[in-house]
A and B are shown apart, each in its own frame.
Chain A
Amino acid sequence: MRGAGSMEMVKVLEVREEAEGIASILFSPEPSHRWSSLGPGQFIMVYIPGVDEVPMSVSYLDDDPFVMGITVQNIGEATASLCSLRPGDRIGVRGPYGKGFTLPDPDGTDTIIGVSGGVGAASVILFMEMAWRRGYRTVSLAGARDMRSLPFRKRWESCSGEAEFSTDDGSLGHHGFVTELLEMRLSAMSPGEKERTRVVTCGPEPMMAAVKNLMESLSVSGEFSLERYMKCGLGLCDSCSMSGRRVCVDGPVFPLEELSLMKEFGRSHRDRSGRLIPLKERIT
């Protein structure tokens, strides 16, 4: 495994606008052994020369030809420079890192519900596409602020038995939170159906905390993709530490039962110095 994560410089193939302020960057690394284990929910470190290096979930992964992609929301210096890349520009990628989403045993679980909020859709969509190809019954619930800021609408529809959307302003689908769509669905299920269902989710942490509460109260299993300030991606620096777990190597995807023990989830995170701060404060 040594050197598995050495940085590989790649040329940008395409920058695709997915929604307002959200773009995907597609590139084509050497199809080497190192990438063979990469799956949905895992992440790579993306180096933008002279600007930053940031952890990004993989949102596109095609075999032939080998193309990989990440999806970013333009919210800061690093993401702005990613969004302004042009085909032919060079970025560096290293990885793959972390634990991704896992496909359940199809004999016990036949339904997968993907719940995403905003750009959190990036890791969930890739997993839902994989589940769809493998023959699971897929239900995608995707939420956004409004219709224009919802990414992957076509992809959701083509990889889901059912796809439902929610927007804060009602401009598309359900007028309200995506968690309300989940609650309606889970409440309508029989205990047997719930047992055969797995929820996978990624989005703002308050949203995921609401998903977690629903799953606990309705006894549904699932996996959560978390985000913390992350520096090395290698499990060394501990900057992404959360209740004794390192999000970069022990996660970023955690099963519900593990997350239930992580008391910092939904409540606090750490700033760049390592100070524990309430979740509502952004790291500046």
Chain B
Amino acid sequence: MGHEEPRLPKIEIFIAISEGPMKRSGQSSIDLSVNVAGIEFPNPLLLASGICDETGASMAEVVRNGAGGVVTKSLSLEPRNGHPNPSVVELPYGIINAMGLPNPGIETYRDEISSYLELTGGSHPIIASVFGSSIDEYAEAASLVSGTGVSAIEINGSCPNAKGLGLQFGQDPDVIRELVRAVKGSVNIPVMFKLTPNTTDITVLARAAQEGGADGVVAINTLQAMKIDIHARRPILTNVTGGLSGPAIMPVGVRCVHAIASDPEMKIPVIGVGGISSYEDVLEYMMAGASLVQVGTAVTWEDLGVFSKMETGLRRFLEEKNVSDIRELIGAALEERG
């Protein structure tokens, strides 16, 4: 590879996206918009981090297909190539991945964020996922990316796939508190913390994030998992272990969101993620207490159309139940707090 930074023109715009206005769903009195940490989302369906988010054009394409906003891939100060293949295992009920946080570094990715904002006209918020190998690096990464036009920071403190990065930050409440505090101190936009389910009690971690000043928590990241090639007698993934996502983890995520949202100590919003592939799944998460949800793996089977399908499903459900505002359903399945 050349040693000089190649100078290329700014990312080209895929014309299909720039032709004409964003597709809007049919006019109806149903209000799907939600406001989390002061950020207005046209609907509660966000693209989860690490999915279809290599470029601004890709993320804009997801929004054109009905998402209410996007989360970028996890970004670091320096570029990372990620793990060599095999980096995914497809299962009947989910996917195990060990991508290894590939990203071109924030300075380079800045152009993708600009391109996304240009293509979407800023109508659909973009949240930057960041990670680092030390608390200082996290704070520096967050600070750098906060100046690119993103609406919020999502701290990936729980990626199970990169040694020395992420997961060990996300399992220790003391570290979470300090990490969130450091990131909060380095930016002036809202900060969310993404929680791992690979822990004994996720509410302990959620509380720590809140104590550190987080404006919201995101639950859940992938579950640590493994697949073995019985013929070769070895794990398939180059990274040996990976993170399980998809329908298999949906009930785990719902339970985690419910546990966090019903914790009387918790005051900040919860963003639900894990295995969502239908509007019914979205509603489960929201009724468990999620104000917003993120969708990732479902794109494998349903493609990007999954977003508009879920949006239509939500509208129909609300109409049928005579609910005009989706916010009424947030936490609907939580027991009355006494």
List residues of chain A with CB under 8 Å of any chain B CB. Answer: 1-3, 5-7, 9, 47, 49-50, 52-54, 90, 92, 94, 231-239, 241, 243-246, 249, 261-264, 267-268, 270-278, 281-284
Q: When the two chains form their complex, are residues B303 and A6 in contact, meaning their CB atoms are under 8 A apart?
A: no
Q: When the two chains form their complex, are residues B8 and A274 in contact, meaning their CB atoms are under 8 A apart?
A: no
Q: When the two chains form their complex, are residues A270 and B84 in contact, meaning their CB atoms are under 8 A apart?
A: no
30 chain-A/chain-B pairs, Cβ below 8 angstroms: A1-B301, A2-B93, A7-B90, A9-B229, A49-B232, A52-B86, A90-B232, A94-B90, A235-B303, A236-B297, A237-B54, A237-B88, A238-B54, A238-B58, A239-B102, A243-B14, A244-B13, A244-B17, A244-B57, A244-B58, A261-B15, A272-B82, A273-B79, A273-B80, A273-B102, A274-B103, A274-B104, A275-B104, A276-B6, A276-B8
Chain B, interface SS category: loop
Complexed CA–CA distance, A277 and B104 (Å): 11
Contacts A263-B12, A275-B108 given; indicate if A236 touches B303 (C-beta within 8 A): no
**A284 surroundings in chain B (CB, below 8 A):** 1
Complexed CA–CA distance, A221 and B53 (Å): 31
**A50 surroundings in chain B (CB, below 8 A):** 232, 234
Complexed CA–CA distance, A281 and B231 (Å): 37
**B57 surroundings in chain A (CB, below 8 A):** 241, 243-244
**A236 surroundings in chain B (CB, below 8 A):** 50-52, 88, 95, 97, 296-297, 299-300
**A275 surroundings in chain B (CB, below 8 A):** 79, 104-105, 108
Question: In this complex, which of A5, A50, A273 has the most chain B Cβ atoms within 10 angstroms of its Cβ?
Answer: A273
Q: When the two chains form their complex, are residues B58 and A5 in contact, meaning their CB atoms are under 8 A apart?
A: no
Q: When the two chains form their complex, are residues B90 and A234 in contact, meaning their CB atoms are under 8 A apart?
A: yes
Name B54's contact: one of A3, A49, A90, A270 (CB within 8 Å).
Answer: A270
List residues of chain B with CB under 8 Å of any chain A CB. Answer: 1-2, 6, 8, 11-17, 50-55, 57-58, 60-61, 73, 79-82, 84-93, 95, 97, 99, 102-105, 108-109, 229, 231-232, 234, 236, 247, 296-297, 299-301, 303
Question: In this complex, which of A235, A271, A272, A276 has the most chain B Cβ atoms within 10 angstroms of its Cβ?
Answer: A276
Q: When the two chains form their complex, are residues B297 and A249 in contact, meaning their CB atoms are under 8 A apart?
A: no
Q: When the two chains form their complex, are residues A281 and B102 in contact, meaning their CB atoms are under 8 A apart?
A: no
**A47 surroundings in chain B (CB, below 8 A):** 86, 229, 236
In whole Å, how far is A157's beta carbon from the nearest beta carbon of chain B? 36
Given contacts A236-B88, A276-B8, A277-B8, 18 further A-B contacts (CB under 8 A): A1-B301, A2-B92, A7-B236, A49-B232, A52-B84, A234-B90, A236-B296, A236-B300, A237-B51, A237-B88, A237-B99, A237-B102, A241-B55, A244-B16, A271-B104, A273-B104, A278-B8, A282-B1
**B11 surroundings in chain A (CB, below 8 A):** 276
Name B231's contact: one of A9, A267, A268 (CB within 8 Å).
Answer: A9
Q: Which residue of B lies closest to A237 (CB)?
A: B99
**A6 surroundings in chain B (CB, below 8 A):** 90-92
Q: Which residue of B lies closest to A6 (CB)?
A: B90
**B93 surroundings in chain A (CB, below 8 A):** 2-3
Contacts A236-B52, A264-B12 given; indicate if A52 touches B85 (C-beta within 8 A): yes
Complexed CA–CA distance, A274 and B105 (Å): 9
